[in-house]
Homo-oligomer: A and B are copies of this chain.
Amino acid sequence: MKEISKLLDYRQTVRVVDATLRDGGLVNSFYFSDEFVKDLYDTNKRAGVDYMEFGYKASTEMFDQSKFGKWKFCKDDDIRAIVGENDTNLKIAVMADVGRCDYKHDIVNRSESPIDLIRVATYLNTIPTAADMIEDAVRKGYEVSCNLMAISNVQESDLVVALDILGQTPVDVFYIVDSYGALYPEQIARVADVYMNFAEKYGKKIGIHAHNNQQLAFANTIEAVGDGVDWLDGTYSGMGRGAGNCAMELLLGFLRNPKYNIAPVFQFIEKHINKLKENNVVWGYDLQYLMTGLYNQHPKAAIQFTKEKRTDYYEFYKEVIEQD
């Protein structure tokens, strides 16, 4: 049984990361209004959130800038237009995907940028490139995390090798990323245990980014807190790809550090989120996401099902188990 005494208290080392613009941007192609982004930034400050992820540092060579909102590219000037000099306790993060980011060129020295944290996202088969991106970002002065995606599809014997390689880089945080929303809390506990061995060996922190395919994004996140995971991703109303993420409002309701404040989150959601939903921006738990989560598959077929406004769940179930 977990020590509830530890959960009623709090760990100074816990950090909350708002990933609304980044993971939520996958739902609306990053077309957020400036008012939305400014209000989100203000809300995060008032709520005591530690990091706000603005989006991706995607390659403008690979991606057509006319087809996405600006937060797919997160140019420093666009961030500065929102945060100014950001003389606050809220730090600024962006995600850099292995293979989709011209990091050597597009990420400048931290001293010249409003960004504080580079989140390198990688699958297990691109760890050496991820390691190079980590080295590059640390050399430029940034805090750096490494998000190991689709962890539910990874062999534990491969995972330990990956963590040992990453442990030897100057990365600050290893992330558990349940991209498929496939893991149960018991499995999170086991994965966290594997991560913890390397975190302790190399002096790193651990983070978690959960998906809500089985209504477990929040449950898995608080399971992880009890297992010693310090960096916690949330998004407002759980906005994120497919079934979405751990809801910020649930997470801040759970955490006991008095620096966190849930009231501004309610104000933000009231003002902005229902409006998004009325404009047919769709995310959140539904049967199609449960199915891909249950069978440990990428949610892309479920996202397509949603896009086509299909409701023939049973047909889709047969498609999913055929892929299995």
Contacts and interface: CB of A to CB of B under 8 A. Distances in A.
Interface of A: 1-2, 4, 7, 184-187, 189-190, 193, 212, 214-219, 222-223, 226, 247, 249-250, 253-254, 263, 266-267, 269-270, 274, 287, 290-291, 294, 311-314, 317
A221 to B, nearest CB: 10
22 contacts: A1-B190, A1-B193, A2-B186, A2-B189, A7-B184, A184-B222, A185-B219, A214-B253, A215-B218, A215-B247, A219-B219, A249-B287, A250-B290, A253-B294, A266-B291, A266-B313, A267-B314, A270-B311, A270-B312, A270-B313, A270-B314, A274-B311
- Interface of A, secondary structure class, is helix
A228 to B, nearest CB: 12
A250 B254 CA distance: 23
A266 B2 CA distance: 35
| Residue from the set A185, A189, A266 with the largest chain B CB neighbour count within 10 Å | A266
B223 A185 contact: yes
A180 to B, nearest CB: 14
A218 B226 contact: no
The 5 closest A-B pairs by CB, nearest first: A219-B219, A270-B313, A266-B313, A253-B294, A2-B186
A62 B305 CA distance: 48
Contacts of A219: 185, 215-216, 218-219
A15 to B, nearest CB: 20
Contacts of A193: 1
A247 B314 CA distance: 17
| Residue from the set A189, A215, A249 with the largest chain B CB neighbour count within 10 Å | A215
Contacts of A186: 1-2, 4, 7, 226
Nearest to A214: B250
Contacts of A218: 214-216, 219
A56 to B, nearest CB: 27
